[in-house]
Amino acid sequence: MHSPLPASSSTSPWITTVAGPLPVSAVRGPVLTHEHLVLDLDRTGERAAVLEAGRHRSAVVGELAALSAEFGLALVIELTCRGMGRDPRALARIAEESGVAVVAATGWYYEPFHPRETEEASVERLTEILVREIEDGIGASGVRPGVLGEIGSHGDRPSGRESRALLASAHAARATGLSLATHAQFGRGGLAQLELLTGAGLPPHRISIGHQDLLDDPGIHQEIAASGAYVAFDTIGKERYQSDRTRLRLLLALLDAGYAERALLSCDISRHGYLTAEGGHGYGHLFRSFVPAARAAGVDADLIDLLTRRNPLRFLTGADTGTGTRRTTDTARTAGTDAEEF
């Protein structure tokens, strides 16, 4: 077992990684806020939607190590949770071999991937499962989750089973001080997720609503951000679902509306075909393609640091700059926060 985190509040300057507590001050480079390093979402036998601990680990390690060397990649938030083929020991090995810190997750994905434990269990029982895992570690691995995610739903409103999982995750987040990242299938249902989670008492700045770059609706993005929650543009590079040109347009709209402090970026590598070793765009697509395009559109270096480092750290630790914080349109693309850490 890892030693417990130092005594602190929910705005602790510590992050729980697969190797134990990590001070925020040690995270000097960018963060990937929604990735998968080991997972198994295969339901057809084709083995396409997998990242296997044995077969693909060396390619994953190689990519992360290269990104650390080239861009200073410091941390990956790994959102593979219960029922998704999570392997905490493999995550610990990947972190050690790559030199990039990794945060593991707990919770439940959307309903088709729920294990049987969610079928009839009450919200209270599901909350107990999550809190025990957060406090005691995942199985016998001793690895403690540092985030709840990716807590899923599909459609405009969560199903009954998904609602129980979301509520349990909100209660567990409140009990343990962890933040919560969602999976909104194709970007839909984010406002319903937010309503459910905040209705359970979880502050919006502890919530990231996922896959919003798949939803071409700047009004919804701004409504989520105005609440104080984070808007995740986290499938960058998946051109099959949405063009990066559209993603950049949506991000710039959010920035110009004054919500730079509410955006999170990542690539959501969720199958081995996305790895660069297999000809895919890889974990580094954010830094090699999307960030340069954002710079060309007028997003300056300080704002890039806000989007790729300070925002993720503030989300993870539960720190906040104020609900619905906005910037004026003429400075949205050229000003970050004034906080030294975040």
Which tens digits make up the pLDDT trace of 181-214?
999 999 999 999 999 999 999 999 999 999 999 9
Rounded to two decimals, the pTM is 0.93
Banded model confidence at residue 331, pLDDT cuts 50, 70, 90: very low
Which tens digits make up the pLDDT trace of 233-245?
999 999 999 999 9
Rounded Cα–Cα distance for residues 193 and 67 (Å): 33
Q: How much is the pLDDT for 85? A: 96
**What letter does residue 205 receive in the DSSP assignment?**
G
Number of H helices, E strands in the chain: 11, 13
Q: How much is the pLDDT for 213? A: 98
**Around Cβ 62, how many Cβ atoms within 10 Å?**
16
Within the chain, strands assigned E span 14-17, 20-23, 31-35, 39-40, 50-51, 75-78, 101-103, 105-106, 147-153, 180-184, 207-209, 230-233, 263-265
CB-count burial class (<10 Å; 0-12, 13-18, 19+) for 71: middle
Banded model confidence at residue 342, pLDDT cuts 50, 70, 90: low
* The token pair that represents 205 in the structure block: 């700045």
